[in-house]
Amino acid sequence: MDAFGLALSLVFNADTLIVIVLASAFGLFVGAMPGLTATMATALLVPITFYMDPIPAIAAIISCTAMAITAGDIPGALLRIPGTPASAAYVEDAHGLTRQGKAGLAIGISICAAALGGLFGFAVLMSAAPMLARFALNFSSFEYFWLSLLGLSCAVIVSRGGVAKGMLSLLLGLFIAQIGLDPLMGQPRFTFGFAELAGGISFIPAMIGMFALAEILRNGRAGLQIVPQIKVATPFAGVGAALRRYRLNLLRGAATGSVIGALPGVGGDLGAWITYSIAKRTSKTPEKFGTGHPEGLVEAGATNNAALSSSWIPAMVFGIPGDAVTAVAVGVLFMKGMEPGPQLLTVNPHNFYAVLLVFVLANLLLIPFGYLAAKVARYIFEVPPSYLNAAILLFCVVGSYAINNTMFGVLVMLILGVLAYILQSRDFAIAPIILGIVLGPLVEQSFTTSMTIARGDPLGFFERPIAATLGAVTVLIWLAVMVRAAYGAWHLRMSQTHNQ
Amino acid sequence: MKRFAMATAAAISLLATGNLALAEYPERPVTVIVPWSAGGGTDATGRIIATMLEEKLGQPFNVVNRTGGGGIVGHTAIKDANADGYTIGIITTELSMYDAVGSAPLTYTDYSLVGLYNADPSAVFVRADSDYQTIGDLAEAVEADPEAIQASGANFGGINHLSWVSMVQGLGLDGAQSNWVPAEGGAPALQLLASGAIDVAVVQFPEAQGLMDAGEIRALATLGSEPNAKHPDVPPVTEALGIDFAIAGWRGVGGPAGMPDDIVATLTGALDEIVASQAFRDQMGRLNYGVVWADGSEFADYLQNRGEAFGAAISAAGLGQ
Amino acid sequence: MRTGPAADIVIGVAFAALGAAIIVAASRFRAIPGMAVGSGLFPTMTGGAMILFGLVMVIGAARVARRPVPEKAAGTGQTPDADDPSERKRRLFDGYAIALIVALLVLIAAMPVTGFLVSGFVFAVFAVRLGGGRWAGAIVFSAIATFCIYFVFMHGLRVPLPPGPF
């Protein structure tokens, strides 16, 4: 417990606390801007952390990341522009609530579920980090392949518009991900000789275009619908009731998130999709999903931040970063002489505990900052639509420019935005396209790696126990979908012949 | 003829950008392209260099990760940038190979070379519970059946792949017979090793440190002629197997060909001071990266030698065009 | 663009054609010597699935078109946007959509030449006017918004927006 006392003194001093608050505010600002990402916020912080002591430096990265990712839900709820691929899972529900005049409730549920999920993730980190890390080490390319396929299947099946259209959306995303140099040999694919295309298409301009621009086109001259927001005493009214009502979803979402999040590379993006579809599957009112129903929002929101916490497990225990953000953070850990690895837990446990304490603080800070954001958010709807539209469009342009500092990003944003506008008018879901772009490289890489290891034998995909289980679940889900579709068609035909 | 054409091109671009260079360089922020993803060794060392260049030269040096295609995207972006000194980049080992492997027509002559700051050999790792106790055991198994041993470390034709092929060849076998599993980089390859999907990982020490400390994996040999400073007990292959080994990973700073000479000189001067500084050595030492220094012309000689060594290994391994 | 199942048939056919094009392009990728898989394998699988599901969609839409039953019964999901009747009445590419798309194209071409401050300002004025805002408001708002975004991105977030000739 000595180490814990030392950790307390490392965290609860003026310097560290000020750093945490400032980094959180910065994260909130960057995360709430459509198009700016947590990765960008983190990368901007790194040079500043060079001049800090180790604990404040790590604290800055952690609190900024947690805040930026959660704040990405705010433009999602208000303007239907999700901040991260994960928050695209529940953006329809969050925006649906806003259209009912309950923007405060939508933001409140997102933020509070995220904070609670993050705290749950902390508990897992505290008690089971080495165990979870060891479990995550069992995952080879075979397991990754099945897991990502499972996550993508969930995204397709929950999408409105039917399985065929959801599947086509996903395939379009996978195809977009293939544009550029291939991961095996670096030979150009579908680039038509353009150097810009060789760099591939980033999901950020795609996401901005397909959600924000398409939404503006869809609403037309009238602008974003001005929804009179219900005036309540506090913007978070009703949040507690919703969380209590769906407490099982909250718990399940957080638990699933902590396990999936520990898998480097996939956890953060996929977790929310998997739990959203679980929530829809097990709900008494699945037909309400996607229209502004809090149930999926609670579960997937909790998953999001729980996965974020536990995505630090492989990074801290084995030095294997799962995504760009933790990769940057691992670099900072190294630079500050806190080499990731098991000795972080044994030799210098006070450093490890201090990092955990920062997690708690960062997640607790989400609530007051989120409250402020929700209070301010209401005034967005006081802005006349023509001005709001112009401002959003400017952000779309600048945000998609910023990804590589070229106009090419803006062009991608425009083309994909128009494409999404067309597809959406025929009930194609947009989110699977984004997920396909994000996870396409992982699916392809894990598939080709596995094929190489198995020497081209498809049975090799079922030889390892975890891979076989994940594979079987995926196959069963698709069998269930096909049986239901066949039964539906048969039922329809029967009822028709009956009528005739 | 090619040299003449290049000199002409350089002279023309010098004229074209000359008036820009008149003001004291740098007078606005400089972009530093890193061809590998955030969190890797190139990114970590590149960010140290960028921050220190910023301190020295008084303008922001913004790191931009341009990843994909085994570094080809980023290297191409550096090559194609305006040669005005406001876009430079970190160039890496893979530049010695693209042309020989035939994956991209990129060589060191496409760049204005600022300086070399790092060189590290790779090492061979196995799982802790592996049957191979020494590099000798592994060598015997490879000699018995080179195709049975599955190794990974990064993309096909990357530094770790070539190191592995060279070792297999050093054993007197056909390098093309070795079984290489392509992965996205060091970390995914280590994940494959730890999960038991492959037998051998060829990566650099800093990437494997965490798993080594955890007792999940063991290092069998350093693929070079000298032992690693932090791991003196891991034998170099030259000593353990009697194989002569010249392949090592390197990292340097470069810009597009035809950058004005005075700008290159400014950057080289600043980088020289940085690499010589104790602060830089401390940071690199903490990350366990070796520090070396070679300025523009020495860097070019170094790269010419490397290019030839890599070219020989690649064509002998049956990977060449 | 036509509405109803006819549009679905067009989109389904378009997807199937894209899938076929992907397979043809993928067959030309260089194979890696001595490897079980090549760069073209995954694209080929994607293209094949696109053809399959494109055809499934065409068949589904054709069945809906042939039958005088409501669309809802064909299993294509909930009737969408019941809360948003305005959307169905609008043409897909009306004057507003076309004007906005053209304006963005002009902006993409103009920004590297004139810089963000000028092109962004003109674009913002146009966007406000297009949405029905007044001239005075449009100019004041656009000037402030453009300058704030420029300042925050250039100096706060270190995004080098095109400075233009100034």
Note whether residue A63 is domain-resident: yes
Q: What is the pLDDT of residue C81?
A: 43
Yes or no: say if B234 and B135 are a contact pair by the CB < 8 Å rule: no
Q: Identify whether A66 is part of a domain.
A: yes
Query: For B157, which residue in chain C has the nearest alpha carbon?
Result: C32
Is A324 within 8 Å of B38 when comparing Cβ atoms?
yes
What is the dihedral angle through the alpha carbons of A399, A402, A404, A410, rounded to the nearest 10 degrees? 40
pLDDT digits (tens, 9 = 90+) for C33-67: 666 677 888 999 999 999 999 999 998 888 877 76
pLDDT on residue C144: 94
Mean pLDDT within A240-248: 85
How many CB atoms are closer than 10 A to CB B227? 17
Question: How many angstroms away from the CA of A59 is the closest CA of chain C?
Answer: 20
Structure confidence at residue B98 (pLDDT): 82
Q: Which residues of A touch B283 (CB under 8 A)?
A: 335
For residue C154, what is the DSSP state? I
Query: What pLDDT score does A223 carry?
Result: 59
Residue A320 has pLDDT above 80, yes or no: no
Q: Which residues pair with B181 in a beta bridge?
A: B152
| Cα–Cα distance for residue pair C126/B56, rounded to 1 Å | 44
When the pLDDT of each residue in chain A is averaged and rounded to a whole number, the result is 82
pLDDT at residue A322, rounded to an integer: 63
Report the pLDDT value the prediction gives residue C74, as an integer from 0 to 100. 43
- The answer to whether the CB atoms of B197 and A334 lie below 8 A apart is no
- For chain C, domain boundaries: 5-84, 95-156
User: Is A189's CB within 8 Å of C29's CB?
Assistant: yes
Distance CA A450, CA A65 (A): 33
Digit-coded pLDDT (tens) for B261-291: 999 999 999 999 999 999 899 888 877 788 8
Closest-CA distance, A446 to chain B, in angstroms, reads 8
Whether chain C has a CB inside 8 Å of the CB on A426: the answer is yes
Return d(Cα B301, Cα B309) in angstroms, integer. Answer: 13
Question: Residue B22 has what pLDDT?
Answer: 45
Task: Give the pLDDT of chain B (321 residues) as one tens digit per residue.
Answer: 444 444 444 444 444 443 443 457 888 888 899 888 766 678 888 888 998 998 899 888 888 777 766 788 789 889 988 888 899 999 998 888 888 777 778 889 999 999 999 988 889 999 999 999 999 999 999 988 888 899 998 777 777 888 888 888 888 887 777 788 888 777 788 888 988 899 999 998 877 888 888 888 999 999 887 888 788 899 998 888 888 776 778 899 999 999 999 999 999 999 999 999 998 998 888 777 888 899 888 899 888 888 887 887 777 666 665
- Minimum distance, in Å, between the CA of residue C107 and any CA atom of chain A: 9
With beta carbons under 8 A apart, name residues in chain A contacting B31. Answer: 405
The confidence band for C110, taking pLDDT boundaries of 50, 70 and 90, is very high
Which of C35, C39, C154, C157 should be substituted to probe chain B, the one whose Cβ sees the most B Cβ atoms within 10 Å? C35
Burial class (CB in 10 A: 0-12, 13-18, 19+), B269: middle
Q: What is the crossing angle of helices A349-377 and A14-32, to 10°?
A: 50
User: Does residue A226 belong to any structural domain of this protein?
Assistant: yes
Closest-CA residue of C relative to A411 is C108
Flag whether residue B59 sits within 8 Å of chain A, measured between CB atoms: no
Domain range summary for chain B, segments of one domain joined by +: 2-18+28-120+248-316, 123-241
Q: What pLDDT score does B11 carry?
A: 44
Cross-chain residue pair B156–C32, CB shorter than 8 Å: yes
Q: Judge whether B315 is closer than 8 Å to chain C, CB to CB.
A: no
Q: Which two tokens stand for residue A158?
A: 């929950």
Residue C155, burial from CB neighbour count under 10 angstroms (0-12, 13-18, 19+): exposed
List A residues 307-366 in contact with C (Cβ-Cβ < 8 A): none
The Cα-based distances of A177 to A197, A270, A445 in angstroms read: 11, 17, 12
**A397–C123 CB contact, under 8 Å:** yes
C89 near B CB under 8 A: no
> Which residues between 216 and 255 in chain A have a beta carbon less than 8 angstroms from any beta carbon of chain C?
216-218, 220-223
pLDDT for residue C2:
45
Q: What is the pLDDT of residue C20?
A: 96
Domain B123-241 bears CATH identifier 3.20.20.450: no
Does the beta-carbon distance from C34 to B176 stay under 8 Å?
yes
Residue A494 domain-assigned (yes or no)? no
Give the pLDDT mean for A434-457: 85
Q: Please answer yes or no on whether B318 and C34 come within 8 Å at the CB atom.
A: yes
What is the CATH code for B2-18+28-120+248-316? 3.40.190.150
Indicate the number of domains in chain A: 1
Structural domain harbouring A243: 2-463
Q: Please give the sequence-ordered ranges of beta strands (E in DSSP) within chain B, or none if there are none.
A: 30-34, 61-65, 87-92, 111-120, 123-127, 150-152, 179-181, 200-203, 217-222, 249-256, 291-295
C97: phi then psi, degrees, rounded to nearest 5: -60, -45
Give the residue-averaged pLDDT of A231-254. Answer: 81
Taking CA atoms, what residue in B is nearest to C156?
B60
**pLDDT above 90: percentage of residues in chain A:** 9
